[in-house]
Amino acid sequence: MKVNITETVLRDANQSLIATRMPFSDFEGILEKIDDAGYHSIECWGGATFDSCLRYLNEDPWERLRKIKSKIKKTKLQMLLRGQNIIAYKHYPDDVVRKFVEHAIQNGIDIIRIFDALNDFRNIEVAVEQTLKSGGHAQGAICYTISPIHNLENYIKLGKQLEGMGVDSICIKDMSGIMGPQEAYDLIKALKETINKPIVLHTHSTTGLGPITYFKAVEAGCDVIDCAISAFSGGTSQPATESLHFALKQSGYETGLDEVILKEINDFFKPVKDKFIQSGVLDPYVLGSETDALVYQVPGGMLSNLISQLKQSNSLDKLAEVLQEIPRVRKDLGYPPLVTPMSQIVGAQATTNVLLGERYQSISTEVKSYFRGEYGKAPGEVNAELVKKVLGDEEPMTHRFADTLEPEFEKAKKEIGSMAKNDEDVLSYIIFPPIAEKFFKYREESAALKVNYTITKV
Ligand code: CO
């Protein structure tokens, strides 16, 4: 029996362990080997990689994608897209979503995993439709979470909805690594029995359950699992590629992976990992098993963000309190899954509640927008008293927020003018305006420097 493995070292592992700070030059030398290893796909773009390229690494994210594509020619390239939020934290108009998807595929992406933080699929419809139209593989994702309102029936209903939208495959996205092996078995089995699409499971090793959960998921018929090469595996990252391959092979499954090449890839990434540990970017804390997450359901990225934020305000001693406040805020918000941007919104509000010593003394703009319905429909009942406090007599919206947004692409293209070299630049500018502008200036200056250098040399 065949089980497919997706490698996440370039995106999710990079994002979960080292806040997406790996520059292209750190992995350029191993891309051809990665292409030869026999992976189902390589997750390498989207999520936080785009932001990080522009903000911290002075890299053009589009150029990074093209360079990856020029070296990974056989294996499918995969990205993570936050539905109507694209790769950021607010809703964009449909014309921008469509352009982004179109250009992502044109520049080399094959599979687009598309999710909405609230599992409000009105917010992924346009991206799914455009992916299919542009000839890509549209993978609809369901954010997995545990709450009184999230049960097997609910997940099957969500899966059926995705199937009805015409997606090519369905991913269960367990961003917190809280799914247990039995839950995985029951869920995957139920989905395989009712839905006629490949089922993908995505989890993290945060709680230590990851590898066992994957194994049981495969036993239930799971088609694809996401793993990270061992140097960048474990903890808040994915379970190790090599270990899963070994265990599955021993039990008669075929992954198609070449063990010798996997070892070469891992040997390549070991010194990269050491470099990030030495510079302090990789905090060994995130590499261990953190079983508190089974109670708090805090995803990997969120946990490392919370720690660094609390460190900055000299209040790391409040971590335990903040972790206890998170589930309470979540209940008030109708149990949104803790995935970006909801993880940040809930995390920030919980931190404010703790640091100010009084709950909701200050309410963030984002929580206000959430109650207004700007992020979509809350999965469950929201705290009515709190909504009244925030909205007063204002009615929350029932339509899709993006329906209220004017097309933006052509307007932005005019606005940025010659600083944008192509439509991809315009998209970078629309999504991260000041950061993209700063990057364009840097790019121009460094190009000018190169020209000067060449002239002097001649
Ligand atoms: Co993830």
Q: Which residues surround ligand 1, an ion (CB under 5 A)?
A: 12, 175
Confidence class of residue 351 from pLDDT cuts 50, 70 and 90? very high
CA 446 / ligand 1 centre spacing (Å): 34
**pLDDT-based confidence at residue 443 (cuts at 50, 70, 90):** very high
Query: What gap in Å lies between CA 120 and CA 215, rounded to an integer?
Result: 29
Give yes or no: residues 60 and 152 share one domain: yes
Is residue 96 within 8 A of residue 430, CB to CB? The reply is: yes
Sign of CA dihedral 304, 56, 110, 9: negative
Q: Provide the pairing of β-strand 111-114 with 137-143.
A: parallel
* Residue 223 pLDDT: 98
Closest residue by Cα to residue 261 from 3, 2, 1, 5: 5
* Res. 455: pLDDT tops 70: no
pLDDT digits over 311-320, tens only?
Answer: 988 999 999 9
Task: Decide: helix, strand or coil at residue 142.
Answer: strand
Q: How far is the CA of 388 from the centre of ligand 1 (A)?
A: 34
Q: Are 394 and 372 in contact (CB under 8 A)?
A: yes
One-letter amino acid for residue 303 of the chain: L
For residue 173, report the distance from its CA to the centre of ligand 1, in Å.
7
Average pLDDT over the chain reads: 94
Q: What is the CATH number of the domain that holds 27?
A: 3.20.20.70
Q: For residues 223 and 362, state if they share a domain.
A: no
Beta carbons of 114 and 84 less than 8 angstroms apart: no
If asked whether residues 273 and 289 sit together in one domain, one would say no
Band (pLDDT 50/70/90 cuts) for residue 85 is very high
pLDDT digits (tens, 9 = 90+) for 204-248: 999 999 999 999 999 999 999 999 999 999 999 999 999 999 999
- 454 Cα–ligand 1 center, Å: 44
| Average pLDDT of the segment spanning 284-310 | 80
Mean pLDDT on 371-379:
93
Q: What pLDDT is stored for residue 307 in this prediction?
A: 86
Q: Which two tokens stand for residue 449?
A: 């420097």
Do 354 and 447 lie in a common domain?
A: no
3-state secondary structure of 172: strand
Looking at the structure of the chain, the number of domains it has is 3
User: Same domain for 371 and 417?
Assistant: no
430 Cα–ligand 1 center, Å: 25
The residue among 279, 312, 342 that closes a domain is 279
How large is the average pLDDT for residues 396-403? Answer: 93
Residue 216 pLDDT: 98
Q: Among 244, 279, 314, which residue terminates a domain?
A: 279
pLDDT at residue 6 in the model = 98
Indicate the pTM of the whole model: 0.91
pLDDT tens digits, residue range 163-197? 999 999 999 999 889 999 999 999 999 999 999 99
- Give pLDDT tens digits for 15-39: 999 999 999 999 999 999 999 999 9
- Which pLDDT band, with edges at 50, 70 and 90, does 296 fall under? low
Q: What single-letter amino acid sits at 374? A: E
Nearest to residue 343, comparing CAs of 374, 310, 304?
A: 304
**If you measure from the C-alpha of residue 226 to the centroid of ligand 1, how many angstroms do you get, rounded to a whole number?**
9
Could you tell me the distance, in angstroms and rounded to a whole number, from the CA of residue 338 to the centre of ligand 1? 11
pLDDT at 348 over 70: yes
Q: Are residues 384 and 424 in the same domain?
A: no
Residue at which a domain ends, from 247, 279, 311: 279
CB distance 45 to 24 below 8 Å: no
* Total H helices, total E strands in the chain: 21, 8
CA of 122 to the centre of ligand 1 (A): 22
What is residue 6's three-state secondary structure? strand
Instruction: Residue 425: give the domain boundaries.
Output: 408-457
Average pLDDT (332-356) is 92
pLDDT of residue 340: 76
On whether both 322 and 417 belong to a single domain, the answer is: no
Residues 272, 381 share a domain: no
Same domain, 223 and 97: yes
Co-location of 365 and 432 in the same domain = no
CATH (domain of 377) = 1.10.472.90
Whether 37 and 140 share a structural domain: yes
Task: Count Cβ atoms below 10 Å from residue 15 Cβ, excluding itself.
Answer: 26
Q: Predicted confidence band at 300 (pLDDT cuts at 50, 70, 90)? A: low
Q: Is pLDDT of 71 > 80?
A: yes
Cis bond leading into 61, ω under 30°?
A: no
Residues 203 and 350 in one domain: no
CA dihedral 202, 208, 212, 216 (to 10 degrees): -50
pLDDT of residue 301: 67
Mean pLDDT of 273-290: 93
Asked if the model's pLDDT at residue 458 lies above 60, the reply is: no
Confidence band (pLDDT; 50, 70, 90) for 297? low
Give the Å distance between the CA of 59 and the centre of ligand 1: 23
- Between the CA of 202 and the centroid of ligand 1 the distance, in Å, is 7
Residue with tokens 């088609």: 223
- Residue 407 DSSP code: P
